[in-house]
Homo-oligomer: A and B are copies of this chain.
Amino acid sequence: MSDEQRTRQLRVALAQVDTRVGDLAGNVDLVHRWAARAAGAGAHLVVFPEMTLTGYPPEDLVLRESFARASEQALVGLAADLADQGLGGTAVVVGYLAHTPGSGPAPVDRAPTGDEDAPGDANPRRGAPRNAAALLYGGEVVVRYYKRHLPNYGVFDEARYFVPGTELPVVRLHGVDVALTICEDLWVEGGPCGIAGRAGVDVVVSPNASPYERAKDDLRLPLVRRRAAEARATVVYCNQVGGQDELVFDGDSLAVAPDGQLLARAPQFVEHLATVDLAIDPAAVPGRREGRIGPMTVTRHLLSEEPLPAFDPRPGSIAEPLGDCEEVWRALVLGLRDFIDKNGMPSVVFGLSGGIDSAMVAALAVDALGADRVHGVALPSEYSSEHSLSDAADSAQRLGLHYSVVPIAPMVAAFRGSVELTGVAAENLQARVRGTLLMGLSNQHGHLLLATSNKSEVAVGYSTLYGDAAGGFAPIKDVPKTLVWELSRWRNARARELGETEPIPQNSIDKPPSAELAPGQQDSDSLPSYEELDAVVADYVDRDLGMAELLERGHDPAVVARVLRLVDMSEFKRRQSAPGTKISLKAFGRDRRLPITNRWRESLPSVREGAVP
């Protein structure tokens, strides 16, 4: 049987790793270790996530020429080092930041870019950075692919940074044709996958940095299936895992055959090496083209024609997606852990009030860091109820964290002896005394202070700036209060299943929420029910609906008016809030960019305006 007729095989590994932004040397080392593991598992091709060497998203580091040059140098060095270590025979696809030297400072008069249809005019003060992936083999950088579709919505600003690519390289490895794409390219029908389908390829590799959002994994498999069908090729989708400031990446890497069969799926929220064995039937392979196809140019690069000696294929392992609560919990744990560890913080501290928010943050922190790195401080005031202290102590005892009690009365009295503060000013004073105490402990002991505000509070500004809003990280900032309760119940149920102590006091879950800044105060004095509040916030904040649509959705008009007013008025607080892990469709932070100075208030169109078509 000639080579042309033999089935071509390839073992592809998906290295779902947790990179660090800006850590070129560390990320190069990570690629070394995982490439060696993949080669040890018999892989011929290893795929890493998007921008492996720089981490993702590197944000304005991209504009630093020194960084871009270092990324290019790291890539070339990595190719050589892999070969030096005997890994030159394994093809490795890594993401990096590519750089064409700039033309110096901005000309006053900008020259046309050559891409006159560019809708986004990027910074003229730099060269041409690109979001790139390279295939390394035999000590060389064999091909470089430049991402074509640059997301510029939500948390993404890629049109700020990158120039889009126009070339689709296809590498023949052991007789198998492998095309390179990156992340967003996969979301566009008729994009690089469609072009690969017209060119004829066997495999499309897709390094990704696709942040976690609730239920996003439900979208990925159907999406990858459609692209595999369009490309008439197996799609190998490798996503990064880990936390980076406001984002957490869940992994969930996939390989899907052209007929839609799921060949492998990596578990979420852990580093993982998945392998998939491909067998390409030469009869099923269409004709091969190169050159201009649509808006791209397809290039072909021969590494090895000879098919591999036949080997017994192993079925890929397929992880089950997690349930909704477990998925969110693990997103929050990983987001918190990576923020603390990647920033080199030894430990965390926070106010433990006996309420559900701080009880949940305590449980998350212990899951993320272990009890020995977690410090809870009860800061009772004259308005604190008895159950506040007992529930806080219960929480600390269940989790085994470091616990102390510092009554705030002497500090509050000292302030009130110096200036007259009444009403809201007196309420906020208590919160700020707590914030100052906790920041003192943070500075004294090197703990990072966690803010315990939830999304409902952040939305309506139900928190004190520099008080309970103080902190370097806000683990549940994107978790609405109703979900805080649901997750807490789920976490306790999971503990019961495992025969462990429930980490969250039932009383913290059950009791009516209160800020306890005034006698007998309850959240329901100043806010609608959290069920109503969260439903309006989801529609107004996450979905950007206006007044007419909100009322059409059946919300109570009085509740809508109240919630929208509070959301609109508290933008200045959010602008100064700590980052927290995004889990929703739209999180406060980079994802939602509203002016502070903003007179727009939603209202129903007037009759006069309504009459205009």
Contacts and interface: CB of A to CB of B under 8 A. Distances in A.
Interface of A: 20-24, 26, 57-61, 63-67, 69-70, 73-74, 76-77, 108-112, 115-125, 149-154, 157-160, 162-164, 184, 187-191, 219, 222-223, 226, 243-245, 294-295, 338-339, 342-343, 406-407, 410-411, 413-415, 417-425, 428-429, 432-433, 435-437, 439-441, 443-444, 465-466, 470, 472, 544-549, 572, 575-579, 592-602, 605, 608-609, 612
Given A70-B605, A117-B115, A120-B120, A414 B410 contact: yes
A122 B152 contact: yes
A18 to B, nearest CB: 12
Contacts of A124: 153
Q: Which 4 A-B pairs have the closest CB atoms?
A: A66-B546, A120-B159, A22-B600, A123-B153
A609 B66 contact: no
Given A123-B153, A432-B439, A546-B64, A226 B109 contact: yes
Given A121-B151, A432-B436, 5 more contacts: A119-B163, A157-B593, A419-B440, A421-B443, A465-B470
Contact of A160 (B157, B407, B428): B157
A123 B154 contact: yes
Nearest to A191: B112
Nearest to A164: B119
Nearest to A105: B543
B433 A429 contact: no
A594 B21 CA distance: 10
Copy tally for this chain in the complex stands at 2
A342 B595 CA distance: 12
Contacts of A223: 108-109
Contacts of A410: 414, 417-418
A431 B549 CA distance: 47
B593 A60 contact: yes
Contact of A21 (B69, B109, B546, B595): B595
B120 A152 contact: yes
Contacts of A22: 595, 598-601
A243 B160 CA distance: 24
Contacts of A343: 572, 596-597
A596 B579 contact: yes
A492 to B, nearest CB: 31
25 contacts: A23-B600, A60-B544, A60-B592, A60-B593, A60-B594, A64-B544, A65-B544, A65-B549, A66-B549, A108-B223, A109-B187, A109-B189, A110-B189, A117-B295, A120-B152, A245-B595, A342-B597, A406-B418, A410-B414, A411-B411, A413-B414, A419-B440, A422-B444, A429-B440, A466-B466
A437 B415 contact: yes
A174 to B, nearest CB: 29
B593 A59 contact: yes
A601 B601 CA distance: 44
Contacts of A149: 121
A209 B160 CA distance: 19
B59 A116 contact: no
A243 B125 CA distance: 26
A110 to B, nearest CB: 6
A572 to B, nearest CB: 6
B153 A125 contact: yes
B150 A112 contact: no
A610 B187 CA distance: 38
A110 B151 CA distance: 12
Contacts of A67: 546, 600
A475 to B, nearest CB: 15
